[in-house]
Structure 1
């Protein structure tokens, strides 16, 4: 469900551009523009117009294409209005007529009386449905705010986590200086789209590309490094946790086992990077990003190395090399 109410008026006011535009306009029923849309789906009301109201998805946006509109006109011409009256007895969010179709006056009169908005678009039904569902997927997506820094490194979206003062912002600043891009610093809003894609962006577009560096203060990355150094949003494809070096802790030195972090029900690769003087964390993150790209292409460096070692041992070359070593003394 959406974090805040989403109304028909919000749907009309959405400023979508290009191939995302819905091209909607209100024909009647303006008193109901405050009706909430609670389900991210749509319904074609052909069965309801024929009198079958079992499992009628009245909570959804009702889309009238050419078939539904032609059948509606036939009902009205025949004076069969019971099903139309019954349709508006439900609390429908709104009705949308595609193809620039004009609903019959009887229909708009009933819609006005019921306070149900009737909208019109010049898009075809299939095109409009696809655009509307994409918008709903974004509006109703589960969301979460995380304290961290989101950067894009070699096309991989990496969210850097860690305790305050561990060096998250400084690491991101060095990555930007090396030609990578900042998405958000401090607070990252993450939403899950289509059930398996995590998109991250700044909590506030006005300040998301500013960065706080201790001893330096607030800096504007866009002004310092140019518009090419920032992104509005990016898919989160890796989690990196920075932590102070702990001599008692055993860190992964082979990388044969893949750790994951679960965010909003989606598991993504995760790394724990110990921080101490002398370690170049930005270079490590660049290497991690390139290594992750190799994994997506089907090549796993650590597993390939492990398999090569096993084949070397099984071939007997390891024993020969060992004996050769002793013979050389």
Structure 2
């Protein structure tokens, strides 16, 4: 099935500040002019070379972060040289300036930034902590995403995406897993993004914590199973495809055949679980999740059985 991939190409300074200012301990030092400026690269930049007069390869599309080194350097320059270097940097339409360690800009530099309508912020974080946190935040904002139809649960640390045709029992299976201690991440629409070298699944804000069960309707999972039965997001470790019992002969019985499900260019382990009346599908999916947990630890039960079988056949020969 073709997956529609969404890729953000830019983010306004205003949107970044509104969403992340608390986590990044940011406060606004200037007015709000320039909030419509766009950040086009998902990483901040320290403009030390630019302030020294070297603008070749200057990363002007990034948020510029002034740490102790940059601030101390500017203080050692003559007022004329300081204004000239800082002005040349601002002329390149940088998105915004952030001063770390609760620092502030001198009045002359703040006026230059305001003349170019460049927002200036201060953060209480030390420079490296801000750089790391801001990079993670920007990577999440710019990460490629897609939406899958299924039900995502966290089963004892393993993120399981339950997929299948309409009416195959995805939500009912999720309910059975919640009764076994799992936590719901998303139902029906599952948002998956690729960031930080891993796939992470979450739910749209409107439907988070709710699950649709045929014949009953929409249920509030937290009300039924408690707050610990909800996870805002989870790494995607395993895809379980619920298949009709009529396709039983097409399902791998020994688990030796490693199947994969591709999402956002990444291949995720996948197993197929046949669905039939009276069959405890939730238990089968829970076992598949525990098996995947063992595989992540380097233990493969199917390979172990196959090795024992080969040794038995060799001894009989």
TM-score, normalised on structure 2? 0.92
Contact 1:149–1:172 at 8 Å: present in 2 too?
yes
| Change in 2 beyond 3 A, CA 1:62/1:248 | closer
Paired with 2:184 and 2:17, the residues of 1 have a C-alpha distance of 32
- Per the alignment, in what secondary structure is the counterpart of residue 287 of structure 1? helix
Paired with 1:109 and 1:235, the residues of 2 have a C-alpha distance of 46
Contact 1:95–1:117 at 8 Å: present in 2 too?
yes
Match of 1:11 in 2: 16
Residue 126, structure 1, aligned to residue 128, structure 2: yes
Unmatched runs of 5 consecutive residues or more in structure 2? 1-5
Paired with 1:10 and 1:192, the residues of 2 have a C-alpha distance of 21
Deviations 1:251-297 (A, max 9, x none): 20111221111111221100112212242211111111111111111
Deviations 1:302-321 (A, max 9, x none): 1111111112222x2x25xx
Match of 1:208 in 2: 208
The farther-off stretch of 213-222 and 289-298 is 213-222
Paired with 1:157 and 1:247, the residues of 2 have a C-alpha distance of 26
Q: Alignment partner for residue 190 of structure 2, among 182, 188, 192?
A: 188
Contact 2:163–2:242 at 8 Å: present in 1 too?
yes
The size of the alignment, in residue pairs, is 312
Paired with 2:223 and 2:160, the residues of 1 have a C-alpha distance of 22
* Deviation of the 1:76 alpha carbon: 3.8
Match of 1:223 in 2: 223
Paired with 1:233 and 1:79, the residues of 2 have a C-alpha distance of 49
Contact 2:21–2:27 at 8 Å: present in 1 too?
no
- Per the alignment, in what secondary structure is the counterpart of residue 299 of structure 2? coil
Unmatched runs of 5 consecutive residues or more in structure 1? 320-329
Residue 102, structure 1, aligned to residue 129, structure 2: no
- Per the alignment, in what secondary structure is the counterpart of residue 14 of structure 1? helix
Alignment of 1:101-180 (within 5 A): 101-180=103-182
Deviations 1:195-225 (A, max 9, x none): x311111113x43222222222222221122
Match of 1:281 in 2: 281
Contact 1:36–1:93 at 8 Å: present in 2 too?
yes
- Per the alignment, in what secondary structure is the counterpart of residue 29 of structure 2? strand
| Change in 2 beyond 3 A, CA 1:127/1:248 | closer
Paired with 1:80 and 1:297, the residues of 2 have a C-alpha distance of 56
- Per the alignment, in what secondary structure is the counterpart of residue 111 of structure 2? helix
Contact 1:29–1:116 at 8 Å: present in 2 too?
no
* Deviation of the 1:181 alpha carbon: 1.6
Paired with 2:204 and 2:9, the residues of 1 have a C-alpha distance of 16
Contact 1:176–1:182 at 8 Å: present in 2 too?
yes
Paired with 1:14 and 1:53, the residues of 2 have a C-alpha distance of 31
Alignment of 1:66-81 (within 5 A): 66-77=68-79, 79=81, 81=83
Match of 1:197 in 2: 198
TM-score, normalised on structure 1? 0.89
* Deviation of the 1:5 alpha carbon: 5.1
- Per the alignment, in what secondary structure is the counterpart of residue 164 of structure 1? coil
Paired with 1:270 and 1:167, the residues of 2 have a C-alpha distance of 18
Match of 2:241 in 1: 241
The higher radius of gyration belongs to 1
Contact 2:294–2:300 at 8 Å: present in 1 too?
yes
Paired with 2:21 and 2:226, the residues of 1 have a C-alpha distance of 26
| Change in 2 beyond 3 A, CA 1:256/1:126 | same
Contact 1:98–1:125 at 8 Å: present in 2 too?
yes
